[in-house]
Each structure stands twice: as structure tokens, then as C-alpha cells.
């Protein structure tokens, strides 16, 4: 199969980790007879340096002309980099927000998985961590409180701020369909998280999720209140498979879920639109503190590339190859500095890419 991949290496460690993901993709393509054609694009700080803006119209058009986007991360040191002396709409992150909007990316997927080899990095009690967990948080990305009307005014001499949380049934249905579609490819369980005991938007959320669930008799599902979910994530994370939720709840719960995995360098992510198109990137930032030293962990980006194969290209076998190769590298004791522990073999960013590529074969 031939696929066109837009590649945004970005800033900081972005180029280092993306290079390793491409190394692994090329290995898998060679084995399985695929051809991946890469188009290099600039976004973020490097685009500001080259073009004076964090994202150009040409970059957006090139992404749209591709089958998927593979991205590193963007941005620099927010205290010292000259990029952060620019107005807010000219800074690196403005490019990412505009790109997500231009591509209609409404579903954000963040897997949180605890590899048994890394369970000591998990901050939870040993008996909980030992069981491991493997969940995927599916967060609605373009609606809800972050996009509703807001204003601040003086009411009767008292400053008063108002934010509005709006969802319509179409927005809920399309993300629920994505969650159930993905659950079918996993352990076939959806936990839909809301605050239906208080919020109208959550009651509509529940009603629409019930309707969508009717089309997926093989997927078990449950509703859970967000406060309970926050507790369950630290009490018994192994119970979750796909966690479906709205924008703000997802923002908070996905960070909570990522913390219990122990390392940001392991966490992949995907943002999808209504077609099979998606943008795939590590959950962490550009890590300017370690950039250019060949010590960053490339696994989050390599696993993001595996998600691209699975969700945008329907290449499940190839995605499995990469995910199994990551497991083998960890089982073999190979570690970058962020996940290093006693008795393990420390390796560089490029060593880790080589080892994972080797285990794909
Ligand atoms: P960060 O995630 O870049 O770094 C936080 C800590 O995690 C640092 O100590 C860093 O060294 C470490 N870390 C992150 N990724 C790692 C990896 N792959 N391997 C080993 N260690 C890793 O967060 P920050 O320092 O708050 O942000 C730095 C810059 O990244 C900022 O400009 C921020 O705006 C940007 N950022 C970009 C994105 C994105 O591109 N989507 C996301 C978050 C932050």
C-alpha cells in the first residue's frame, strides 16, 4: 500500500524522536511491502524562524493533501525563548491550535498503558500497579466549556465571569461512534464519563451515547460520573478499556491517567477527524532541557506512528509489530534515561530506535 505522510518534526527533541519513528516505519514498510512517502513541513518555532509565522497556509494545504500527519512537538523554553515575546497568536502553540482546527480534528485519543517492565515507575500502590493497565482516553476536542461563549462583567458592583458549556447531539454522536468503533478493535468496553447528576449537557451526552451503544451489541458499556472516574483511575485503573468523555473532563482525566503510567516519554496520542485522517504526536512537549543530546525517549513517537498505522491506514498487523517490538525492547532491559532503573541497559534516542526497528523484523 502507498501512503503519503506529512511530517512535522517541530522543535526541541521533535526532530530527534520523529527520526526514530520514521526509522521504525521504514523497517515495517520494507517487511510488509508498503511505500510511505514523507513530506517535510515546518510548524512551531522553526516555522517562526523561517517564515515569521508558526503555521503557513502551505503547510495546512500539504497536511490536507496527505493521508496522515506525524508530528514531533513544538515550542521552546517559555521563559527564555524569543518565540514567547511574540503576541499570543504568533507563538508556536498558536500554530498547533490552528492546524487542529483547520483539519477538523475533534477526537483526541490518549492511550495510558503501564508496561509490566515499568511498573515500578508507577506512583500507585504496588498491588495496584502490579496488575498493570491499558486504557485509551477518548476526549472530545472541539466543543464544551473551552469553546463556549464567555464574558466577564460587573453585576451589581461585583465582578462576575461566565463560561458556557454547550454540546449538540451531532457533536456527541460523532465522538461516541469513534469510541465504540475503536473499542471493537480493543477489549470491547466503553466507559462514558459525565456529570449527569448535575449538568444538562451530560444528560444529553448520556442519551446519545445510549443510542449509539445500541448499534454495537458486542461492546459492553457503562456510564460513570466524572468524580467517581477520577477516583477509580487511581484505585483500579485495570477496569478501564476505552474512556469516552467531553472536552474539559477529558483534559483533566487524560493527564491523571498519564501520570500513573510513570513517564511522559512513553505516551502516544492521536487526533482524528470524521474521515480516517489523523494527526499523531507524542503527548509530551518539546523538552528543550534535553534537546539535541540524543537522550530523549522516542517510544511515545514510535507508538504514535503505530497508532497512525492502526487508525488511519487500517494496518493492524503492522501496528502490532511495532507495539510488540517496543515490549520486546523493554523486556530486553533497554532504557532511555527517563525510564532508567538499576540493572538495565541505558541507551540513546537513536539506539532505542535501532533496537525497536530490529525487533520489528
Ligand atoms: P515537556 O513535556 O516538554 O517536558 C517536561 C519534562 O518531561 C522535561 O523534564 C522533559 O525533559 C521531559 N520529557 C518530555 N518528553 C520527554 C521524552 N520524550 N523523553 C525524555 N524526557 C522527556 O513540557 P514543558 O517543559 O512544560 O514544555 C516545553 C515546551 O513544549 C513548551 O514550549 C510547551 O509549550 C511545549 N509543548 C508542546 C506540546 C506539543 O507540541 N503538543 C505539548 C506540550 C508542551
Q: Is 289 a catalytic residue?
A: no
| pLDDT score of 147 | 86
Residues of the chain with CATH 3.40.718.10: 1-106+275-361, 123-260
Cα 50 to middle of ligand 1, angstroms: 22
| pLDDT score of 250 | 95
User: What sections of the chain are H helices per DSSP?
Assistant: 14-32, 45-51, 57-64, 92-102, 126-129, 169-184, 200-213, 226-235, 247-259, 299-307, 316-331, 349-360
- Topology of domain 123-260, per CATH? Isopropylmalate Dehydrogenase (3.40.718)
pLDDT surpassing 80 at residue 153: yes
Of residues 49, 200, 236, 255, which has the active-site annotation? 255
Q: Which of 16-30, 204-218, 263-277, 285-299 has the lowest mean pLDDT?
A: 263-277
Supply the pTM of this predicted model.
0.92
Q: What percent of the chain has pLDDT over 70?
A: 100
CB atoms within 10 A of CB 80: 10
Q: Is 101 a catalytic residue?
A: no
Pocket test for ligand 1, best of 284, 291, 304 (most atoms within 8 A of CB): 284
Contact 27, 359 (CB under 8 A): no
What is the crossing angle of helices 92-102 and 57-64, to 10°?
40
Of residues 4, 84, 131, 146, which has the active-site annotation? 146
Report whether residue 54 contacts ligand 1, using a CB cutoff of 6 Å. Answer: no
Cα 247 to middle of ligand 1, angstroms: 21
Q: Is 149 left (phi over 0), alpha (psi -120 to 50) or beta?
A: beta
> DSSP string of 145-175?
GGTS-EEEEEETTEEEEEE-----HHHHHHH
Mean pLDDT, rounded, of the chain: 95
Q: Is 227 a catalytic residue?
A: yes
C-alpha cell read off for 281: 504526536
Residue 97 banded pLDDT, cuts 50, 70, 90? confident
Cα 13 to middle of ligand 1, angstroms: 9
| pLDDT score of 350 | 98
Contact 213, 168 (CB under 8 A): no
User: Tens of pLDDT along 158-186?
Assistant: 999 999 999 999 999 999 999 999 999 89
* Of 196, 255, 180, 189, the residue nearest 228 (C-alpha): 196
Q: Which numeric CATH code is attached to 1-106+275-361?
A: 3.40.718.10
Report whether residue 76 contacts ligand 1, using a CB cutoff of 6 Å. Answer: yes
pLDDT surpassing 80 at residue 262: no
Which backbone phi and psi does 2 adopt, to 5 degrees? -100, 130
Pocket test for ligand 1, best of 97, 285, 349 (most atoms within 8 A of CB): 285
Amino acid at each position: 500500500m502507498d501512503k503519503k505522510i506529512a511530517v512535522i518534526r517541530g522543535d526541541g527533541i521533535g526532530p530527534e524522536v520523529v527520526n526514530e519513528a520514521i526509522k521504525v516505519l521504514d523497517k515495517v514498510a520494507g517487511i510488509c511491502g508498503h511505500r510511505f512517502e514523507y513530506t517535510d513541513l515546518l510548524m512551531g518555532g522553526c516555522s517562526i524562524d523561517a517564515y515569521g509565522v508558526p503555521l503557513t497556509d502551505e503547510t495546512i494545504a500539504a497536511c490536507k493533501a496527505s493521508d496522515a500527519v506525524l508530528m514531533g512537538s513544538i515550542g521552546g523554553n517559555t521563559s527564555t525563548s524569543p518565540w514567547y515575546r511574540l503576541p499570543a497568536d504568533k507563538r508556536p502553540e498558536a500554530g498547533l491550535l490552528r492546524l487542529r482546527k483547520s483539519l477538523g480534528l475533534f477526537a483526541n485519543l490518549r492511550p495510558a498503558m503501564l508496561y509490566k517492565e515499568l511498573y515500578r515507575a508507577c506512583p500507585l500502590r504496588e498491588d495496584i500497579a502490579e496488575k498493570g493497565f491499558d486504557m485509551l482516553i477518548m476526549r472530545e476536542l472541539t466543543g464544551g466549556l473551552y469553546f463556549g461563549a464567555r464574558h466577564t462583567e460587573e453585576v451589581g458592583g461585583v465582578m462576575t465571569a461566565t463560561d458556557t458549556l454547550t454540546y449538540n447531539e451531532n457533536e456527541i454522536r460523532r465522538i461516541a461512534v469513534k469510541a465504540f468503533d475503536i473499542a471493537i478493535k480493543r477489549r470491547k468496553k466503553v466507559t462514558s464519563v459525565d456529570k449527569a447528576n448535575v449538568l444538562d449537557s451530560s444528560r444529553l451526552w448520556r442519551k446519545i451515547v445510549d443510542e449509539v451503544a445500541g448499534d454495537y451489541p458486542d461492546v459492553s458499556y457503562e456510564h460513570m460520573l466524572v468524580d467517581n472516574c477520577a477516583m477509580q483511575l487511581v484505585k483500579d485503573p485495570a477496569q478501564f478499556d476505552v474512556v469516552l468523555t467531553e472536552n474539559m473532563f477529558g483534559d483533566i482525566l487524560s493527564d491523571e491517567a498519564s501520570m500513573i503510567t510513570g513517564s511522559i516519554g512513553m505516551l502516544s496520542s492521536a487526533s482524528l477527524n470524521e474521515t480516517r485522517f489523523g494527526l499523531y504526536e507524542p503527548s509530551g512537549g518539546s523538552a528543550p532541557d534535553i534537546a539535541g543530546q540524543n537522550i530523549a525517549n522516542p517510544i511515545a513517537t514510535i507508538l504514535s506512528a503505530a497508532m497512525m498505522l492502526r487508525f488511519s491506514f487500517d494496518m493492524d498487523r503492522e501496528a502490532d509489530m511495532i507495539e510488540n517490538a517496543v515490549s520486546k525492547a523493554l523486556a530486553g532491559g533497554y532504557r532511555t534515561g527517563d525510564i532508567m532503573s538499576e540493572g538495565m541497559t541505558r541507551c540513546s534516542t537513536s539506539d532505542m530506535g535501532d533496537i525497536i526497528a530490529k525487533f520489528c523484523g
